[in-house]
Chain A
Amino acid sequence: MKRTPIFEAARLVFQRDLTLAWRRWDEVTQPLIFYVVVTTMFPLATTPDLAQLRVISGGVVWVAALLSSLLALEALFRSDVEDGTTEQWVLSGQPLGWLLLSKVAAHWMLTGLPLVVMSPIVGTALGLPFNAWGTLVISLLLGTGTLSILGGIGAALTVGVRRGSVLLSLLVLPLAMPLLIFGARSVGMVMDGESPAGPLQLLAAIFFMALSLGPLAMSAAIRISVEN
Chain B
Amino acid sequence: MAFDGALFEARAINAWRGDRHILRDVSFTVRSGEFLKITGPNGVGKTTLLRVICGLLPAETGAMQWRGQPIRGAVDEFHTDLAYLGHLNSLKSDLTARENLKFLSGLRQSLTTEDIDSALDRVGILSRGDLPARSLSAGQKRRLALARLVLADAALWILDEPVTNLDTAGIALVEELIHEHVSGGGLAIAAAHQRLLDDAAILRRLELEP
**What is the interface of chain A, defined by CB distance below 8 A to chain B?**
1-4, 8-9, 12-13, 15-16, 19-20, 23-24, 79, 83-85, 87-94, 99, 226-227
Contact = CB atoms under 8 A, between A and B. Distances in A.
B95 A93 contact: no
B30 interface: no
B82 interface: yes
Given A1-B151, A1-B153, 17 more contacts: A4-B107, A8-B110, A9-B107, A12-B103, A20-B95, A23-B94, A83-B92, A84-B87, A87-B84, A88-B104, A88-B107, A90-B55, A90-B79, A91-B54, A91-B79, A91-B84, A226-B56
Contacts of A79: 92
Interface of B: 54-58, 76-77, 79-80, 82, 84, 86-95, 99, 102-104, 106-111, 115, 148, 151, 153
Given A3-B80, A19-B95, A91-B54, A84 B107 contact: no
Given A1-B153, A227-B56, A84 B108 contact: no
Contact of A3 (B90, B91, B108, B148): B108
A87 B99 contact: no
A1 B86 contact: no
Contact of A91 (B77, B82, B110, B115): B82
B172 to A, nearest CB: 25
A123 to B, nearest CB: 35
B90 A1 contact: no
Contact of A92 (B58, B93, B107): B107
A92 B111 CA distance: 14
A23, A83, A84, A94 — which one has the most chain B CB atoms within 10 A of its CB? A84
A85 B92 CA distance: 8
Given A4-B108, A4-B109, A93 B90 contact: no
6 contacts: A20-B95, A85-B104, A90-B56, A91-B54, A92-B79, A226-B56
A1 B110 contact: yes
Contacts of B148: 88
A199 to B, nearest CB: 39
A20 B84 contact: no
B84 A13 contact: no
A227 B57 CA distance: 5
B107 A89 contact: yes
Query: What are the 10 closest A-B residue pairs judged by CB atoms, nearest first?
Result: A84-B88, A84-B90, A93-B80, A16-B103, A1-B109, A92-B107, A93-B79, A23-B94, A88-B90, A9-B107
Nearest to B158: A91
Given A1-B153, A91-B54, A91-B84, A84 B94 contact: no
A91 B71 CA distance: 13
A14 B115 CA distance: 22
A20 B54 contact: no
B55 to A, nearest CB: 8
A99 B107 contact: yes
A4, A9, A79, A88 — which one has the most chain B CB atoms within 10 A of its CB? A88
Nearest to B83: A91
Given A1-B153, A24-B94, A227-B56, A92 B108 contact: yes
Contacts of A87: 56, 84, 86, 88, 90
A4, A15, A93 — which one has the most chain B CB atoms within 10 A of its CB? A93
Contacts of B54: 91
B110 A3 contact: yes
A4 B105 CA distance: 10
A12 B80 CA distance: 18
